[in-house]
Amino acid sequence: MTVRKIATIGHPVLRQRSREVGPEELASPEFQRLVDDVIETMRDASGAGLAAPQVHEPARLVAIEVDRNPRYPYKPRVPLTVLVNPELHVLSDETFDNYEGCLSVPNLRGVVRRATEVRVVALDRRGAPLDFVVRGLTAGTFQHEVDHLDGKLFVDSVTDTTTLTTWADFDRFHREAFVRRAEALVARFGS
């Protein structure tokens, strides 16, 4: 496993639509190595998730894992999940305001409106079908990662640009109010 270099905003690889992964590519040692590297890179950078284009590989692959994350200590635990060719289906009109950050957008956070309940249809790293529902803050994480596969960064979805903040000023001015809202969501959905 290798920790790969993370592309940052401005790199064109973050702005293209990533390719579908076919059965042959999925079974290849190169692709399995890529999956390992995405996981390793995500863990090394303390990300809650990482999409393949963020390591300069525009394939429809994301990894998500939250376990006492120092970047996002309020996020509930999510076991390691690898999604290939994921599709998200919004299950209700309800939304919440998520304060997001991204390893490809250094030192910036902002509020993005996300659906509270999403169905995830994908393949796992071996090609087995996955179909499950995510809710609350976890649903926000999944939407953020899958957006990367369509060349979308969270900053594109920040409608109120006055919420943009450095990480230090998030802690100073915005953290308390957000964590209160986040805890209410976690209490409701357990996620």
User: CA-to-CA distance for 145 and 147, rounded, in angstroms?
Assistant: 5
145 is catalytic: yes
**Nearest-approach distance from CB 27 to Ni ion, in angstroms:** 27
Q: What is the number of the residue whose Cβ is closest to Ni ion?
A: 102
With respect to Ni ion, which residue has the nearer C-beta, 102 or 186? 102
Q: Which of 57, 65, 100, 145 is catalytic?
A: 145
**Nearest-approach distance from CB 113 to Ni ion, in angstroms:** 16
With respect to Ni ion, which residue has the nearer C-beta, 84 or 146? 146
With respect to Ni ion, which residue has the nearer C-beta, 47 or 136? 47
Contact residues for Ni ion (CB under 5 A)?
Answer: 102
Q: For CA atoms 114, 150, 35, 25, give the dihedral sign.
A: positive
Residue whose entry in the numeric block shows the structure tokens 């209490």 = 187
**Nearest-approach distance from CB 170 to Ni ion, in angstroms:** 16
Helix axes 136-148, 175-189, angle to 10 degrees: 110
SS3 assignment, position 30:
helix
Single-letter code of the amino acid located at 54: Q
User: CA-to-CA distance for 30 and 32, rounded, in angstroms?
Assistant: 6
Which residues are marked as active site? 145
